[in-house]
Structure 1
């Protein structure tokens, strides 16, 4: 724990956002440190009037093989080209309020997997056409009697098994086969070592062989943590604590990006040591705050960091939990 807190302190000092240039118009802001240094791209993803096109955001981000960026919002899923132009949208009730998304390349094409907390289901649809091929409602076969089912995270094992976290309700994590048949569940709500207090985010941690589940235990005391479980639901270890309110995780190579709802993004290396902190917001009025309108956004400063994803060049796309719909591109400085 002391090691984690020391790492956070060092990272915050080393990773203050520094403007690249000072001018009246919005200029890029440089943030991070060392090999994890990034420049923001002001206005990325905005329309011709300079406004966000998303509507309220409370979701995730993924990138496909072609480099297109998918982000989920209240209205549905928006797909952007790398230069920030909308190339397609999947809107309407069946695509609304997807809290977390993953993407997977399969023989039939690339597919988006989503956890829909409001609708109480998991979902799988074709990334190009939007055709929905699978829905995962609460599995009655589990024998559980739940008053509420509100999935917050989803990921897929190498064999196609689907893992769905009920992070806004029971905190059980459910495992299905590739066809949606219930297999098992694990975990429960609480602050014990093998319990979850808001199992909010989750991904397949491919830094390890065999891969593990990397789970964001957002409200676990003290101050949020990441934990490892194997793919059969067996506890492995507590990875790191003291992360504030970690909301999701995304892997690229040896690195993990971890959005913190307090308004920052933490990057860990393969030893799970903090190597950079991006967008750190020290203003108690605007961090962990959904209601920061676009005209009050500050370049290079986040407000309610919720989702992130890497592209193949190591650039990051970061979504804020935000009333006006905020999605940012951070370009890796070579």
Structure 2
């Protein structure tokens, strides 16, 4: 277990630069430290007129095998090319309010799994065509009665089993098989060692064999934390404590990116030690703030960091929870995964 507060001041002082404004707008900002040093890409993902292309964001980011970037927003799912152009979109009532996503190759076809908090379901759809092939509802077989169903996170095991977290409600995590059949559930709301106070984000932790579930306990008191559970719902350990409000987790190799709603992104190594902090927002008013309009965005400073994903070169794409719709590209200095 590592305390976030012991590292924050050191990492920020070593790795964060201040953006310098030029006549033609913001310049790249360097942030992070050591092998986790990144430069921002000013204006990435904006329309030609300079405005956000996606509208209000409260979602996630994933990347397909071709390198295209999918981000979910209130309006639906937008697909960007690596240079920041919208090349596809899936909009409307079937794709709105996807709070979390995972992408998975299945027999040569890529599928996106989504947790739709406001629409009370999990979905699976073809990443290339948008065809929805599976919907997951609150399982009556779980015997929980008419509880509120407000899913916040979804992930998939190697065998196809699906895990869907009811993070904005009961904090149960439901397990389904690949066809959507309910198998079991575990977890409960609370601040105990084995409880969740907003099981907000979740992914399959492939750094361990057998794989584990890595879960963001966002509102745990006194500070947010990450937990490991087995794929059978058994508590393993607290991974990292003393975080702010960890919203999601994305893994590449030995590294984990952890967006924090306070306005920063933390990177952990294989030992779950914090090795970099990106985009730290020093403003208490603008960190954890949805209502930061685009004209108040600051290059290299995040506001309500909510989703992230790594590309094949080790670059990061980061989404803020934001009224105008903010997604950022961070290019890893000397990029190349190790």
TM-score, with structure 1 as normaliser:
0.98
Q: 2:306 is paired with a residue of what secondary structure?
A: strand
Instruction: State the partner residue of 2:27.
Output: 27
Consecutive unaligned residues in structure 2, runs of 5 or more: none
Unaligned segments of structure 1, at least 5 residues: none
Q: Which residue is equivalent to 1:133?
A: 133
Deviation at 1:333, TM superposition (A): 0.4
Match of 1:14 in 2: 14
Cα distance change of structure 1 residues 197 and 180 upon mapping to structure 2, 3 Å threshold: same
Per-residue CA deviation, residues 112-140 of structure 1 (Å, 9 max, x unaligned), is 00000001000000000000000001001
Structure 1 residue 3 displacement after superposition: 4.9
- Secondary structure at the aligned position of 2:98 is classed as coil
- Report if the CA contact (8 A) 2:59-2:72 is conserved: yes
- 2:283 aligned with 1:266: no
Match of 2:333 in 1: 333
How far, CA to CA, are the matches of 1:174 and 1:3 in structure 2?
A: 30
Residues 189-208 of structure 1 mapped to structure 2, 5 A cutoff: 189-208=189-208
- The secondary structure found in structure 1 opposite 2:8 is helix
Deviation at 1:16, TM superposition (A): 2.3
Task: Note the aligned Cα RMSD (angstroms).
Answer: 1.1
User: Who is 1:224 aligned against?
Assistant: 224
Alignment partner, residue 240 of structure 2: 240
Q: Are 2:123 and 1:123 aligned?
A: yes
Which whole-Å CA distance do the structure 1 matches of 2:137 and 2:98 have between them?
14
Distance 1:2 1:126, change over 3 A: closer
Provide TM-score, normalisation by structure 2.
Answer: 0.96
Partners of 1:133 and 1:229 in 2: how far apart?
Answer: 28
Match of residue 179 from structure 2 = 179
Encode CA deviations 1:73-122: one digit per residue, 9 max, x unaligned: 00000000000011100000000000000000001500000000001000
In the alignment, the residues of structure 2 paired with residue 209 and residue 279 of structure 1 have an alpha-carbon distance, to the nearest angstrom, of 32
3-state DSSP of counterpart to 1:275: strand
Are 1:93 and 2:93 an aligned pair? yes
C-alpha contact 1:224 1:242 (8 A) present in aligned 2: yes
User: 2 CA distance for matches of 1:115 and 1:251?
Assistant: 18
* Mapped contact 1:191–1:221 kept (Cα < 8 A): yes
Secondary structure class of the residue paired with 2:110: strand
Matches of 1:323 and 1:111 in 2, distance apart? Answer: 28
Q: Check conservation: 2:198, 2:218, Cα contact below 8 A.
A: yes
How far apart, in 1, do the equivalents of 2:138 and 2:204 lie? 22
- Indicate how the Cα distance of structure 1 residues 240 and 2 shifts in structure 2: closer, same or farther if over 3 A, else same: closer
What secondary structure is seen at the aligned counterpart in 1 of 2:324?
Answer: coil
Instruction: Give distance in 2, aligned partners of 1:177 and 1:235.
Output: 20
Cα deviation 1:126-155 (Å, max 9, x = unaligned): 000000000001001101124310000000
Q: Distance in 2 between matches of 1:111 and 1:189?
A: 31
Deviation of 1:26 (Å): 1.2
**1:107 maps to 2:107:** yes
The DSSP-based 3-state class of the residue aligned with 2:6 is helix
Q: Deviations over 1:265-289 (max 9, x none)?
A: 0000000000000000011121100
Q: Is the 8 A contact 2:2 2:240 kept in 1?
A: no
Q: Aligned partners of 2:223, 2:72: CA distance in 1, in Å?
A: 26
Query: Aligned partners of 2:261, 2:160: CA distance in 1, in Å?
Result: 30
Q: Which residue of 1 aligns with 2:51?
A: 51
Instruction: Give, in whole Å, the separation in 2 of the partners of 1:171 and 1:146.
Output: 14
Separation in structure 2 between the aligned mates of residue 90 and residue 2 of structure 1, nearest angstrom? 40
Displacement of 1:2 = 6.9
Q: Is the 8 A contact 1:17 1:279 kept in 2?
A: no
Runs of 4+ in 1 over 6 A off after TM superposition: none
Distance 1:323 1:4, change over 3 A: closer
Mean Cα deviation higher: 137-146 or 211-220: 137-146
Contact (CA 8 Å) 1:104, 1:112: kept in 2 or not? yes
Equivalent pairs, count = 333
